[in-house]
Amino acid sequence: MSKDKEVLYSELSQAVLEMDEERSVHISGEIVAEQYDAYEAVVHGLADGMDRAGRLFEEEEYFIPELLMCSDAMYAGLEVLKPHLKREESGGRKRVVIGVVEGDTHDIGKNLVKIMLETSGFDVYDLGRDISPQKFVDKAKEVGAEIIAVSTLMTTTMDAMAAVVQLLHEEKIKDKIRVMVGGGPISQSFADKIGADGYAANAAGAVRLAKKLAGGA
Amino acid sequence: MTADQMTPLERFSAYNRGDPIDRLPCVPIVGNAAARVIGARVSDFRGNGRLIASAQVAAYKLFGYDVIRVFTDLYTQAEAMGAKVHCPPDETAYLETPALTDTSEIDRLAPANPYRDGNLPGHLEAMKIALDQVGHEVSVTGAMTGPFTNASFLIGTEKLVRLTLKDPEKVHRLCEISLQTNLRYARAMMDIGCTPSLTDPMSSSMVISPGQFKEFSFPYLKRLIDFIHTRGKTVTLHICGKTSKIWGLMADAGADCLSIDNEADLLEAKQKVGGRVRIMGNVRPSEVMLQGTTGDVRAAVVACLRKAYDSPKGYIVASGCSLPTETPLRNIQAMLDTVREAGYPVNMEQLERGINHE
């Protein structure tokens, strides 16, 4: 007896929220077996679970360890669903280049934003950590990205963020590529000061911001 | 503006007794900004205790703040235990590779020998030189990374925080061996007359929950602080970010002074733990000290004073975290100037009028 797809999506969301990697794989397998839509399962199951985990994080019910375990469960499910995502649904997506600035190797925040963006329908090009301003710009040009997302957790590396915006101006492509910044020491006032297009305080906010920026680009 | 009438040691000892003082203690947490005072490059500090001492003593003499803290980065203990640290030419060093790639290697770890391993000998040398030069007038502390944070540098932060849920026993083993390094390093510091100053960013409630803090960080901090207390030293404990839910535990661990990050509120700190411990903080290191004007610094110091000048166990005007290397020296001066202007007892009304007339 097959389960209704909405029931499966909701169970998948719950498995992510409860950090249950095995269950996430199992339910994703059921969804594939039932030939339900994989993209819907990502959005209403996996991403929904991460979204709820993000809200628990904002409410200080969940902390970084829980969020990482949720993301492990999410990735495990994504591996199962990925081969079944239909081409046209992944076509025409907006592209984001993401990375942690030069001098900083803390990437928990960046990884979470990356996961949330991916499950929200963005194609994300992850440069990793300790990335020079020039590399952000070069990659964005290469892949035709609409958005560059730059993160840092350290006050010592904030100037590199301003350099990314500066480089885009120098290459006269600032009007084509939006820059969003985030991370512990960053604030809206800092984003304004360096001429970035937006600031997000957390991963869920980063997704909202990216959608807004991509829509307006 | 009145010049200081007391040395930092005289000021602290009078403040602790409840006797009159010339002004409140003030500690801009200068860190690598001291390099700019003597025109050195940050990477020149590597293994060069003499240069670290000369920068920190010069910065102390220039501003006249109340604690010298020998610091280059958070990784010195982990580095002495096998982690690899990347040193840009003129910026604060950062962790390149943790000491271990996998928890199966934990048995290979040994506590560091502070007289031999990594840059610990250089730091001890810096403390010794600073004490010889100005130890008669100011307390010299050595930055020390807390056991839980150091454990995160041994295995990698993401791995460690996953282990708190998946394999707690491994976390305890990493914290225990980190603690053994802490105890040896603390003993070496105190043998030359220096005091460890504890920093534990990964214990922040922006990283782990208060419950995880209690389980994985608190027991080791308490043992470390208990040991430091056996030598008659007082302990300042700094945890970055949001910490209001763990202030009680930080005090239970034995900390004499809590250094409050700018993500937390000083008024709340005073109300919650001000009756148990001294508090210090929390002018914003980046928005105010790095990017602000001297007027912004003055306003921020006055705002901190308004919240905490009358905290029952005492209050130290300070930055909320280590200052960025490029913090303008005039802003550090402005912090001290405002504390001198405030005098003691602090007259808030007069200070706030000063702001309005600018």
CB contact under 8 A, B94 and A105: yes
Pair B151, B167: CB distance under 8 Å: no
Taking 70 as the threshold, does the pLDDT of residue A156 lie above it? no
Pair B340, B23: CB distance under 8 Å: yes
Number of residues that make up chain B: 358
Q: How far apart are CA B199 and CA B119, in angstroms?
A: 18
Q: What are phi and psi of B143, to 5 degrees?
A: -65, 135
Q: Which residue of chain B has the CA closest to A111?
A: B158
Pair B121, B114: CB distance under 8 Å: yes
Q: Is the dihedral of CA A80, A85, A87, A90 positive or negative?
A: negative
- Beta-carbon contacts below 8 Å between A and B: 71
Q: Flag whether B3 is in a domain.
A: no
Which residues make Cβ contacts (< 8 Å) with residue B192, sequence separation at least 6? B124, B127, B128, B131
Architecture (CATH level 2) of domain A92-216: 3-Layer(aba) Sandwich (3.40)
Token pair 């700019």 is at which residue? B36
**Residue of B124, B34, B91 whose CA lies nearest to A154:** B91
Q: Is residue A56 less than 8 Å (CB to CB) from chain B?
A: no
Q: Flag whether B2 is in a domain.
A: no
Q: How far apart are CA B88 and CA B259, in angstroms?
A: 28
Q: How far apart are CA B127 and CA B117, in angstroms?
A: 16
Q: To the nearest whole angstrom, how far is the Cα of A191 from the nearest Cα of chain B?
A: 11
Q: B85 falls in which pLDDT band (50, 70, 90)?
A: very high
**Residue of B327, B50, B143 whose CA lies nearest to B58:** B50
pLDDT for B44 equals 96
Q: Is the dihedral of CA B54, B56, B61, B67 positive or negative?
A: negative
Residue numbers in B near A104 (CB within 8 A): 94
Angle among Cα B11, B137, B250 to the nearest 5 degrees reads: 60
Taking 80 as the threshold, does the pLDDT of residue A95 lie above it? yes
Report which secondary-structure segment, H or E, holds B196.
Answer: strand B195-199
Number of residues that make up chain A: 217
Q: Structural domain boundaries of chain A?
A: 5-88, 92-216
Q: B287 falls in which pLDDT band (50, 70, 90)?
A: confident
By Cβ distance, the residue of B91, B96, B162 closest to A65 is B162
By Cβ distance, the residue of A130, A156, A189 closest to B92 is A156
Domain count, chain B: 1
CB contact under 8 A, A103 and B91: yes
Q: How far apart are CA A35 and CA A38, in angstroms?
A: 8
Q: Flag whether B119 is in a domain.
A: yes
**A170-182 pLDDT, tens per residue?**
999 999 999 999 8
Pair B54, B38: CB distance under 8 Å: yes
Q: Is B53 helix (H, G, I), strand (E, B) or coil?
A: helix
- Tell which A residues from 70 to 129 touch B, by Cβ distance under 8 Å: 72, 103-106, 108
Q: Flag whether B178 is in a domain.
A: yes
What's the CATH code of the domain at B167? 3.20.20.210
The CA radius of gyration of chain A, in Å to the nearest whole number, is: 18
Q: Is residue A188 less than 8 Å (CB to CB) from chain B?
A: no
Structure tokens at B131: 């004490």
Helix axes A159-170, A133-143, angle to 10 degrees: 50
Q: How many C-beta atoms surround the C-beta of residue B136 within 10 A?
A: 9
Residue numbers in B near A68 (CB within 8 A): 158, 161-162
Which residues make Cβ contacts (< 8 Å) with residue B15, sequence separation at least 6? B21, B24, B25, B314
Structure tokens at A52: 């709820």
Structure tokens at B77: 């203990």
Structure tokens at B219: 């027991």
Average pLDDT over residues B177-185: 98
Q: Which residue of chain B has the CA closest to A159?
A: B326
ipTM of the complex: 0.84
Average pLDDT over residues B267-274: 98
**B112-157 pLDDT, tens per residue?**
999 999 999 999 999 999 999 999 999 999 999 999 999 999 999 9
CB contact under 8 A, A69 and B162: yes
Q: Is residue A19 less than 8 Å (CB to CB) from chain B?
A: yes
By Cβ distance, the residue of B162, B241, B324 closest to A156 is B324
**Residue of B54, B289, B27, B19 whose CA lies nearest to B138:** B27
Q: How far apart are CA A29 and CA B307, in angstroms?
A: 57
Look over chain A and give the mean of its residue pLDDT values, rounded to a whole number. 86
**Residue of B321, B331, B256 whose CA lies nearest to B301:** B331
Pair B298, B47: CB distance under 8 Å: no
- Percent helix, percent strand, percent coil in chain B, to nearest 5: 55, 10, 35
**A186-209 pLDDT, tens per residue?**
788 889 999 999 998 777 788 889
Which residues make Cβ contacts (< 8 Å) with residue B127, sequence separation at least 6? B49, B53, B70, B140, B142, B189, B192, B194
**B186-203 pLDDT, tens per residue?**
999 999 999 999 999 999
Q: Considering the domain A5-88 in this protein, what is its CATH number?
A: 1.10.1240.10
Q: To the nearest whole angstrom, how far is the Cα of A136 from the nearest Cα of chain B?
A: 20
Q: To the nearest whole angstrom, how far is the Cα of A199 from the nearest Cα of chain B?
A: 15
Q: What are phi and psi of B81, to 5 degrees?
A: -105, 10
Residue numbers in B near A106 (CB within 8 A): 157
pLDDT for A83 equals 86
- By CB atoms closer than 10 A (0-12, 13-18, 19+), residue A2 is exposed
Q: Which residue of chain A has the CA closest to B92?
A: A156
Domain of B107, in residue numbers: 8-356
Q: How far apart are CA A75 and CA A7, in angstroms?
A: 20
Q: Do the strands B94-97 and B84-86 form a parallel or antiparallel pair, or are they unpaired?
A: antiparallel
Residue numbers in B near A187 (CB within 8 A): 287
Taking 50 as the threshold, does the pLDDT of residue A89 lie above it? no
CB contact under 8 A, B205 and A104: no
Q: Is B86 helix (H, G, I), strand (E, B) or coil?
A: strand
Q: A105 falls in which pLDDT band (50, 70, 90)?
A: low
By Cβ distance, the residue of A69, A156, A184 closest to B165 is A69
Average pLDDT over residues B274-284: 97
- Amino acid at residue number B4: D
Pair B6, B21: CB distance under 8 Å: yes
Q: Is the dihedral of CA B18, B24, B30, B34 positive or negative?
A: negative
Q: What are phi and psi of B260, to 5 degrees?
A: -95, 125
Average pLDDT over residues B304-323: 97
CB contact under 8 A, B290 and A155: yes
Q: Flag whether B125 is in a domain.
A: yes
Q: Which residue of chain A has the CA closest to B324?
A: A156
By Cβ distance, the residue of B208, B241, B321 closest to A65 is B208
Pair A93, A105: CB distance under 8 Å: no
pLDDT for A47 equals 83
Pair A131, A98: CB distance under 8 Å: no
CB contact under 8 A, A156 and B209: no
Residue numbers in A near B92 (CB within 8 A): 103, 154, 156
Look over chain B and give the mean of its residue pLDDT values, rounded to a whole number. 96
Pair A24, A77: CB distance under 8 Å: yes
Asked, as a colleague might, if the bond just before B345 is cis with ω within 30 of 0, I would say yes
Mutation choice for A interface testing from B209, B212, B323 by most A CBs within 10 A: B209
